[in-house]
Structure 1
Amino acid sequence: MNKLTKVAGRTIMWAFLLLTAVLTLFPILMTLTGSLKTGAEMMTGGTLWPSKLQFANYAEAWKQANFARYTWNSAFVSVMVTIGTLLVAAMAAYVVDRRTFPGKSLYVMVQASMMFISVGAIVLRPQFEMMVALHLNTTLWGVILILISAHSSTFFMLLGFFKAIPRELDEAAMVDGSGFARTFFRIILPLLAPGLGVAGLFAFRHAWNEYILPLVFTMTNPQLQTLTVGLANLRYGASAAMQIHLMMAGACLSILPMLIVYMVANKSFIQVTAGSVKG
């Protein structure tokens, strides 16, 4: 009876994992095969696999979507947001973990509440008006500053990593004459490298996939549009015909930078996972 229970449990587990894998990979497969179809095949939707592979869709999507320019804009926004988010969130998490100050509990509560507010929807208008007052509404720096301000999830992620670093290291550094800031940048921050890698990947992905903010801030200057906004412009061609096949080709191209970033940060994922299993 016990053996049958184990077999049934494993069967259910593998069935669940297989179903999850199918639900995860099927949209990617649809996008990949759709990017290799003609426009007519996409409209009719007869088969999953294209009758003839249309690799020219990628070249056409690159040309129509001004990929080189939009990719640079997306990369600039994503890199600046990642650096800014990690710096702000890491400093905030370090102070909260290592220091006691008036309003500390209130600050943590506000950070927690910000995780449930959509930056791109509820507070879009006041944020835009604030950037107008700062004369940043016609540049990508307005988008960057707003995205950096949405760092609550990164703050709590890094706060957990800081709690795993012994306080004795801070005390030993201060005995040797190291100040609070120097201790943070020269001793504590290097030990946080795996956490920074994981948090940086999520921050980069969030900035790379952001659509509403770049759309609003670049309406009057198409040259500043990011890749997500440029891909949306591929939906209709010059003759108002739908170009879903080109949108999918562009989507496949836009995934490549994220894969590169993941491969760079993969070591941090492995270190974090290994440490949690070992602990």
Structure 2
Amino acid sequence: MNDTIVAGILGLLEGLTEFLPVSSTGHILLAGHFLGFHSTGKAFEVVIQLGAILAILWVYGARLIHVFASAPQDPAARRFITAVLVAFLPAVVIGVLAHDFIKTVLFETPKLIAIMLIVGGVILLFVDHMKLKVKYDDAMGLPVATALKIGFIQCLAMIPGVSRSGSTIVGAMLLGVSKRAAAEFSFFLSIPTMTGAFAYDLYKNRDALSSDDLGLIVVGFIAAFIAAVAVVHWLLGYVSRHGYALFGWWRIIVGTVALIALMLGH
């Protein structure tokens, strides 16, 4: 299959899955493996996440501008900004220290990705059915200490197949955040986290990327942006009504099918 078409398919897959607790990285790495797609330094899989970041800014732009504009006078706005930045810090430290291991070992292990999809699906189903006491129903009102704990839990997603949104959502729910607010805080935390991953990965691969790589990244980026805007609009309403069970079962099915295919030598 033509690499440009594959890049578009992977971009759509990235946008559709980035904010769902199903592991977008796991999905596109497995899809790339079975489609025979190989990117320079696995940069494509990280850099196209910028399309998903811009989708969040597109949907929440006015709200975020208001928060930053009111921050000098509003303690609640300052607390929200601080909470997101503090939650982001663990990913900065661990991501920089473990970057090469993540990209050269974990990203190159399809069987691990499939197993983590299944394990994460089981955990998501279990937590979704727990009767958890809700202490926080506003994503912009989380205590800084709670946000920091969510930030540490987010670092589990450096193992492909775990899911950044999945780990933050499950962690937030276990800490007393409502299902809707957990998803929304995951959206906000994705902005610095994914921007940092994008910038650092682009820097690390700056000498290896060619014009062909950049062309594929642009295709994937556009596809990811379009798909992610649709998902962000839909997700909050869905999880408020139905929870996360659908995504748990999806993870288990995809992981099982991928694991069987890998065991059969594909």
Q: Is TM > 0.5 for Structure 1 vs Structure 2?
A: no
TM-score, with normalisation over the residues of structure 2? 0.32
Select the structure that is richer in helix: 2
| Higher RCO (CA < 8 A, seq sep 6+) | 2
TM-score, with normalisation over the residues of structure 1? 0.31
Rg larger in 1 or in 2?
1
